């Protein structure tokens, strides 16, 4: 049962990326679904406002001629429980591996539009309730079987019918005949409700990672095969030793053309400082990280010697405190307000992020057109918190002791960093709360959030390239016994704004609706936004062409998004 319940982590990547903790790499579990207008054969344009403007150190296109060969050793921030896109807990590290072995049906281009990748084209009907996808002829899985319409339907049904993962899929497709085969290379998806003008963004995520049906069927009978993925991507599984190394080798039959690297080896190194030291020492060639101090070290190394190249992006996830609005005492908005005012937000940024990350008021950085300048995150007002606690305790004394509200705070561990965060928050909240701190395993933290077995925790989330695909975390339809709307707050106004914004092709409507959604989240007091998580993808000087990815048709792809990138175009100098 526990193995099946851990599959819930898969939803963290179905529509966007979610992390079960905040405050750096330690204890991290973790990177999209709605907006564009062109539904032609070559792909769709999201509006110009589809995402934040990334704060990146951009690597220019390579002018050297690519050479084949070499093994890229990549340090990732966590291990995953398997590499099956229909059942496995693909945290950010798992999604990175998934792009190498599975590829995705769609992708995000350099202008933040959706474009076909494994697929050849997407078209829709007039109201965006039906989307037709045509596949590329001759694309094969690594086992030699065809990536055809039957394979796509097999993958879709596996995810939709999964006991837990299906909760992130079923609300968005009609119940009868949600997907149908039109011909051997064409399928039609039938959406529910008012339609989705940028639905292909969904297939740029884990939902668009296609596994061989033969392998998926075998893995259902033998769960150990979840560790031996069979996809259609640029690299083929060779070996895997959990918590040590996953090795993928070049796919010479890759549909996208020549793959340069001989192999990619993914090494889980959970400590951010250790990961940086190994890159600087030459033990690895690349890394992903949200550890601010080590990232600063790598940026300084780039500026001083040029031996390291960094791609920085803080437009993805935000770190925040999260409250369960269905669990007493946090079912009372006064208690949620009290915790918000008592939260030492500035101290968190100073002591945990060391003043490096930008403070967050909402899901968007100020550069994003979706940013609502009227939304300000309240915090750092313990006197107001004490007043609210006294008012609540006078009415509900059973939930209080000594005129302070009794509460439990859960965090992931064991982790020295998360213990520091817990100590900081306990100190700040103690003005108005009696805090019991509970340390749980990362998987249990996420499971407890899904089942509603928590009062307060820390989290990291909201990384969808198109923010309407973050709806799974905030809409009414995902509140239930197993809830992906973790705070369990159903706001019908918010859901209506999501519906109309998703269906619209007017950028002004999309922007206005999303700004209003940010306001409703602020007014509900279920999140206390802390800061914008800054991802760094760092590479040694021998790693080339990291940002040169493109589709078969030559459309340039976005370099990174919440640490994720593609691998087929990367090469290494010899």
Burial class (CB in 10 A: 0-12, 13-18, 19+), 64: exposed
pLDDT in tens, 275-298: 999 999 999 999 999 988 999 999
- Give 293-329 pLDDT, tens digit per residue: 999 999 999 999 999 999 999 988 899 999 999 999 9
Spatial separation of the C-alpha atoms in residues 211 and 60, rounded to whole Å: 33
Tell me whether strands 71-76 and 263-268 are parallel, antiparallel or unpaired: parallel
Domain boundaries of the chain, sorted by first residue: 1-574
How confident is residue 31, by pLDDT bands cut at 50, 70 and 90? very low
Q: Which residue's structure tokens are 């590290």?
A: 93
Separation in Å, CA 463 to CA 87, 188, 364, 471, 563? 21, 27, 9, 11, 10
pLDDT at 59: 52
Reported as a single tens digit per residue, the pLDDT across 350-408 is: 999 889 999 999 999 999 999 999 999 999 999 999 999 999 999 999 999 999 999 99
Residue 8 has pLDDT above 70, yes or no: no
Q: What is the spatial distance between Cα 560 and Cα 312, in angstroms, rounded to a whole number?
A: 9
What letter does residue 369 receive in the DSSP assignment?
T
Chain segment 427-455, per-residue pLDDT in tens? 999 999 999 999 998 778 988 999 999 99
DSSP character string of 219-248: HHH-GGGGGS---SSSEEEEEEETTTEEEE
- CATH 1.10.760.10 assigned to domain 1-574? The reply is no
Q: What is the mean pLDDT of the chain?
A: 89
Buried b (16+ CB within 10 A) or exposed e, 216-237: beebeeeeebbbbbbbbbbbbb
pLDDT value of position 46: 39
CA 281 to CA 301: how far, in whole Å? 12
Ramachandran bin of 239, using left for φ above 0, alpha for ψ from -120 to 50, beta for the remaining angles: beta
- Structural tokens at position 562: 């919440």
* pLDDT value of position 45: 40
In terms of DSSP bridges, do strands 400-401 and 404-412 run parallel, antiparallel, or are they unpaired?
antiparallel
Question: What integer pLDDT is reported at residue 501 of this predicted model?
Answer: 96
- Confidence band of 50 (pLDDT split at 50, 70, 90): very low
Alpha-carbon separation of residue 208 from 85, 106, 188, 378 (angstroms): 9, 7, 14, 38
> Which of 102, 109, 95 is CA-nearest to residue 42?
109
Q: What is the pLDDT of residues 478-529, one digit of tens each?
A: 999 989 899 999 999 999 999 999 999 999 999 999 999 999 999 999 999 9
Dihedral angle sign, alpha carbons of residues 260, 263, 269, 270: positive
The H or E element containing residue 182 is strand 179-183
Q: Over the range 516-549, which residues count as b (16 or more CB within 10 Å of their CB) and which as e?
A: bbbbbbbebbbbbbbbbbbbbbbbbeebbbbbbb
Q: How confident is the model at residue 164, as a pLDDT?
A: 64
Residue 193 pLDDT grade (very low, low, confident, very high; cuts 50, 70, 90): confident
In the chain, the percentage of residues whose pLDDT exceeds 70 is: 88
Rounded Cα gap, residues 373 and 371, in angstroms: 6
- CB 37: neighbour CB atoms within 10 A? 17
Looking at the chain, the whole-number percentage of residues with pLDDT higher than 90 is 75
**Lowest-pLDDT range of 18-22, 116-120, 138-142, 207-211:** 18-22
Q: Give just the sign of the alpha carbon dihedral 539, 541, 547, 549.
A: negative
Among 138-142, 166-170, 323-327, the range scoring the smallest mean pLDDT is 166-170
Whole-model pTM: value is 0.85
Q: SS3 of 354, please?
A: coil
């Amino acid at each position: 049962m526990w193995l099946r319940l851990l599959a819930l982590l898969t939803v963290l990547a179905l529509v966007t990326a979610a992390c079960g903790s905040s405050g750096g790499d330690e204890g991290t579990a973790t990177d999209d679904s709605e907006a564009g207008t062109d539904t032609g054969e070559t792909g769709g344009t999201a509006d110009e406002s589809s995402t934040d403007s990334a704060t990146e150190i951009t690597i220019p296109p390579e002018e050297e001629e690519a050479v084949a060969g070499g093994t890229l050793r990549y340090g990732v921030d966590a291990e995953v429980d398997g590499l099956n896109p229909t059942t496995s807990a693909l945290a950010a590290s798992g999604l990175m591996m998934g792009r190498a072995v599975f590829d995705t049906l769609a992708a995000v281009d350099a202008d933040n539009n959706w474009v076909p990748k494994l697929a050849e084209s997407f078209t829709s009907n007039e109201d965006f309730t039906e989307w037709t996808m045509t596949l590329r002829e001759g694309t094969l899985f690594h086992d030699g079987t065809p990536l055809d319409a039957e394979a796509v339907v097999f993958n879709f049904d596996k995810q939709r019918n999964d006991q837990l993962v299906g909760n992130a899929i079923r609300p968005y497709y009609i119940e009868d005949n949600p997907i149908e085969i039109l011909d051997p290379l064409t399928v039609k998806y039938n959406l529910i409700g008012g339609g989705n003008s940028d639905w292909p963004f969904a297939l740029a995520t884990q939902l668009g990672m296609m596994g061989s049906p033969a392998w998926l069927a075998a893995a259902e009978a033998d769960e150990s095969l979840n560790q031996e993925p069979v996809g259609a991507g640029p690299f083929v599984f060779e070996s895997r030793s959990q918590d040590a190394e996953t090795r993928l080798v070049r796919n010479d039959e890759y549909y996208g053309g020549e793959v340069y690297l001989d192999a990619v080896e993914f090494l889980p190194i959970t400590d951010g400082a250790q990961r940086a030291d190994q890159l600087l020492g030459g033990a690895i060639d690349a890394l992903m990280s949200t550890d601010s101090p080590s990232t600063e070290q790598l940026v300084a190394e780039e500026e001083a010697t040029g031996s390291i190249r960094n791609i920085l992006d803080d437009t993805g996830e935000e770190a925040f405190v999260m409250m369960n609005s269905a669990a007493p005492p946090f079912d009372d908005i006064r208690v949620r307000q009290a915790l918000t005012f008592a939260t030492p937000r500035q101290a968190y940024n100073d002591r945990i992020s060391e003043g490096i990350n930008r403070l967050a008021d909402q899901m968007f950085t100020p550069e994003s057109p979706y940013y609502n300048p009227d939304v300000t995150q309240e915090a750092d007002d313990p006197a107001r918190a004490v007043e609210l606690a006294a008012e609540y305790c006078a009415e509900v004394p059973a939930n209080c002791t000594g005129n302070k509200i009794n509460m439990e705070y859960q965090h992931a561990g064991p982790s020295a960093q998360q213990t520091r965060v817990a100590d900081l928050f306990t100190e700040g909240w103690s003005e108005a709360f009696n805090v019991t701190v509970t340390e749980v395993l990362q998987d249990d933290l996420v499971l407890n959030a899904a089942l509603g077995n928590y009062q307060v925790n820390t989290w990291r989330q909201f990384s969808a390239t198109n923010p309407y695909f973050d709806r799974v975390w905030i809409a009414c339809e995902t509140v239930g016994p197993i809830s992906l709307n973790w705070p369990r707050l159903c706001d019908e106004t918010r859901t209506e704004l999501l519906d109309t914004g998703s269906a619209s092709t007017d950028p002004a409507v999309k922007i206005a609706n999303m700004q209003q959604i940010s306001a409703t989240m602020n007014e509900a007091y279920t999140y206390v936004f802390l800061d914008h998580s800054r991802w760094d993808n760092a590479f040694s000087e021998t790693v080339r062409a990291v940002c040169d990815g493109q589709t078969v048709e030559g459309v340039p792809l976005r370099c990174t998004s919440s640490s994720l990138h593609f691998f087929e175009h990367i090469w290494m100098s010899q």
